[in-house]
Amino acid sequence: MQAFIINGPMRLAGTIRISGSKNAALPILAAALLTDEPITLHDVPPLRDITNMRALLTELGCESATQPDGSLTLTPSSTSNSHARYDIVRTMRASVCVLGPLLARRGEARVAMPGGCAIGTRPIDLHLQGLTALGAEISLEGGDVVARAQRLKGTTVFLGGPFGSTVLGTANVMSAATLAEGVTVIESAACEPEIVDLAAVLNAMGAHIRGAGTPRITIEGVSSLHGAEHRILPDRIQAGTYMLASAITAGDVRLDNCPLDSLLAVEDRFQAAGFTINRLDDTQPAGRCSITIHTGGERAGPIRLTTQPFPGYPTDLQAQMMALLTLARGNSVVTEKIFPERFLHVPELGRMGAQVFRQGPTVVISGVDRLVGAPVMASDLRASASLVLAGLAAEGKTTISRIYHLDRGYDRMDERLRALGASIQRVEEDDL
Ligand code: EPZ
């Protein structure tokens, strides 16, 4: 296994381009199962999760190849295997988003139940509730979800759960409904930008979807879908992570291809902390613009933060913001409303001198003047990013082990940070 060695503190400076969104690309890749014609995607991020999804799609009869221009072409070739095996699903929970497309196009699907993960139990009851409402017969056999349907029938589906809607559940039901007979209305749908991007691809494939991005999505079923070409929207979580990397080092980083229009809740919290986000060119679309973060060389002011479904503050940027708040001028309060257990970064930040006190889904962070580098361990994707940010600002050497968590969602983070002036090396853990 590999680790990062970071020597801090340092100021980041330079320019970074935000790549396509992992969380948009994964359900869009799965949507290729809805047609037998090629799909071409631009700006698919080169991540471990994408590699895993491509491997799964190959097993399910959909080959993929990177073209000379960097685009990814998906070519469905066979429908003989509709089983997403446990040893793939357990490494990447998002594999569950092949369920809806397989069921809609082939009339059957066998997908291993995704277990829990470091941030919570991760149930899929809402996914199954939605597909059952469309007429699927669903059973649990040996840890696999087995779903069958001659032809799905449109209806009204409610996808609200105890923590709000479900992003991948909305993706599964919306994708399946494109080939259902009649009209499907999804009530309490997820409003995330990644759902809007998926709907855009599906409509380019011939689907009739309206309302994506709102809590009510209407899908008029069609008999078949054709090929399409699409550019994946920029990754708002990657962008927020590098915005926070600039802020925690009081740096001067320019982000290009930044989806500022889907980061308004993050911008709001930056302003509450006393920082400003500067758009460099108003002629650029707000979805792909160039920005810098202005801290004035000051520490962040204390803030209150509660994670919410989109357009609220994203749970995927909670850990990274917490790293910044460990050095704020005062006490901040963070409440996690989506994954109440998503705090594995808290004890690791404590090892670096952070004063963080958890009480259930709420954490109080008492800002300190300095963090001190220490050996820490990555546990999940975004907690790992939080530890990298803290290491950039900490005094001395920080080693972060099990960095494979980070590679799932950030391509070459060490190289990209080094290009911004960070002292960061990737090593084998045995060499630590
Ligand atoms: C997506 O996961 C993202 N992953 C997650 O990002 C993100 O944290 C999450 O949405 C919330 O925004 C991808 O898009 C690949 P949910 P998803 O279903 O769809 C509960 C990252 O770091 N729930 O919206 O699996 C669930 O337990 C990852 O990139 C049910 O109760 O999340 C959670 O509390 C981590 N029943 C809440 O809803 C269900 O059937 C939101 O989950 C489904 C979910």
So what's the pLDDT on residue 118? 79
Strand order in the sheet with 423-428: 375-377, 396-401, 2-8, 423-428
So what's the pLDDT on residue 88? 86
**Mean per-residue pLDDT, 27-56:** 97
Question: Confidence band (pLDDT; 50, 70, 90) for 280?
Answer: very high
So what's the pLDDT on residue 178? 98
Beta strands in 199-258 (DSSP E): 208-210, 216-220, 228-231, 252-258
Which SS3 state, helix, strand or coil, does residue 301 take? coil
pLDDT digits (tens, 9 = 90+) for 283-320: 999 999 999 999 998 999 999 999 999 999 999 999 99
Q: How far is the CA of 196 from the centre of ligand 1 (A)?
A: 16
Radius of gyration of the chain, Cα coordinates, nearest whole angstrom: 22
So what's the pLDDT on residue 91? 84
pLDDT digits (tens, 9 = 90+) for 76-115: 998 889 999 998 888 888 999 999 999 999 999 999 998 7
Residues contacting 41, CB < 8 A, separation 6+: 25, 28, 29, 71, 72, 73, 74, 229, 230, 231, 232
Indicate whether residue 339 lines ligand 1 (CB < 6 A). Answer: yes
**Mean per-residue pLDDT, 335-339:** 97
Residues contacting 235, CB < 8 A, separation 6+: 18, 19, 20, 21, 22, 23, 24, 45, 259
Indicate whether residue 122 lines ligand 1 (CB < 6 A). Answer: yes
**Mean per-residue pLDDT, 29-45:** 98
Q: How far is the CA of 167 from the centre of ligand 1 (A)?
A: 6
Pocket mutation for ligand 1, best pick of 89, 165, 188, 316 (most atoms within 8 Å of C-beta): 316
What is the spatial distance between Cα 122 and Cα 60, in angstroms, rounded to a whole number?
Answer: 24
Listed in order, the ranges of the chain carrying CATH 3.65.10.10 are: 2-19+234-431, 22-231
Angle formed at CA 170 by CA 169 and CA 175, multiple of 5 degrees: 105
Q: How far is the CA of 60 from the centre of ligand 1 (A)?
A: 24
So what's the pLDDT on residue 228? 98
> CATH says 22-231 is which class?
alpha beta
So what's the pLDDT on residue 121? 80
So what's the pLDDT on residue 122? 83
pLDDT digits (tens, 9 = 90+) for 107-142: 999 999 987 777 888 899 999 999 999 999 999 999
Indicate whether residue 216 lines ligand 1 (CB < 6 A). Answer: no
So what's the pLDDT on residue 90? 84
Question: Confidence band (pLDDT; 50, 70, 90) for 63?
Answer: very high
CA proximity to 40, closest of 51, 50, 28, 49: 28
pTM for this entry:
0.97
**Residues facing residue 161 across a β-bridge:** 164
pLDDT digits (tens, 9 = 90+) for 190-233: 999 999 999 999 999 999 999 999 999 999 999 999 999 999 99
What is the spatial distance between Cα 249 and Cα 65, in angstroms, rounded to a whole number?
Answer: 39
So what's the pLDDT on residue 198? 98
So what's the pLDDT on residue 423? 98
**Mean per-residue pLDDT, 337-353:** 97
Instruction: Give Cα separations from 113 to 31, 33, 121, 176 (angstroms).
Output: 19, 19, 12, 18
| Composition of the chain by helix, strand, coil, percent to 5 | 35, 30, 40
Give the DSSP H or E segment for 319.
helix 318-325
Indicate whether residue 166 lines ligand 1 (CB < 6 A). Answer: yes
Residues contacting 410, CB < 8 A, separation 6+: 47, 238, 241, 381, 385
- Does the domain spanning 2-19+234-431 belong to CATH 3.65.10.10? yes
**Residues facing residue 377 across a β-bridge:** 401
What is the spatial distance between Cα 150 and Cα 128, in angstroms, rounded to a whole number?
Answer: 17
What is the spatial distance between Cα 215 and Cα 271, in angstroms, rounded to a whole number?
Answer: 28
Catalytic site includes residue 117: yes
Amino acid at 186: I
Pocket mutation for ligand 1, best pick of 50, 167, 408 (most atoms within 8 Å of C-beta): 167
